[in-house]
Structure 1
């Protein structure tokens, strides 16, 4: 089948690697990303191809980017998260000493995190309109994300794609959080 695909695709054939060597797989992945690819698809050789579908044996692997951002506000939780402060508003430092919002997330949070952050953000609360609790911008959070996209919704003109919380950074102050200029540099 591969010979037929190579013949049909010609110069448009996608590079591939068959290996059990983690170092070779990592080098292949890094090369694809360096060439501007979003990532790679990893597949078991035993998994059949089904046109237009990815089975359980197919996995997308993309680089994980992280930023240390500041929590600007938190939304009241709903559903299973009712009673907790849940969705956090994320900001990067701007050159004037303020913050530029880049998005919101509640992904990656455990119940323990939700309990902790509800207590923490009540301590930092500056106002509560019944839905959004604004806080003093003091808490740094490490956020993983899959990329940046242009956005008219947020003042910085960018939004994080698939943002998720990795951990709260009590070892960093808001003055040590990432800047909007650093975020914009990632978008280039």
Structure 2
């Protein structure tokens, strides 16, 4: 009987020479570079246009979604940049605008010279996307839309406390 550990081991072993790798991506790099095997992976984009209900246009990146919305739906996204001298003034802006009610933290990345924090519209989702958490759906149903709202905030925080934010204000696919 084959268990999960055996399957994970098999996925990390080169089928051509039997060498074991610590990750699947390391094995795939080995296959490309040593055996000249072209590796194709099925990449599923979660960035789907919230307005294309029939063809579910998968954009792949927010930039491509912006272009798609502009060209196909004639929607121009409103964009702002903000510079704050310290994190307190940034936090005050965030609270005054009540952004914590509309945006959810999407990710935090720490780099050598700064930290990048990204927020996405809390209505964003994509059809077929399943959360990794096993929780019951809300009684009133989900507020998520079938697609990704382009409204988001990217914040770069310097060690000095200086904060730079890019804020895409335009919501698409739902009422504000």
TM-score by length of 2: 0.23
TM-score by length of 1: 0.22
Which one has a larger percent strand, Structure 1 or Structure 2? 1
Relative contact order, higher structure (CA 8 A, sep 6+):
2
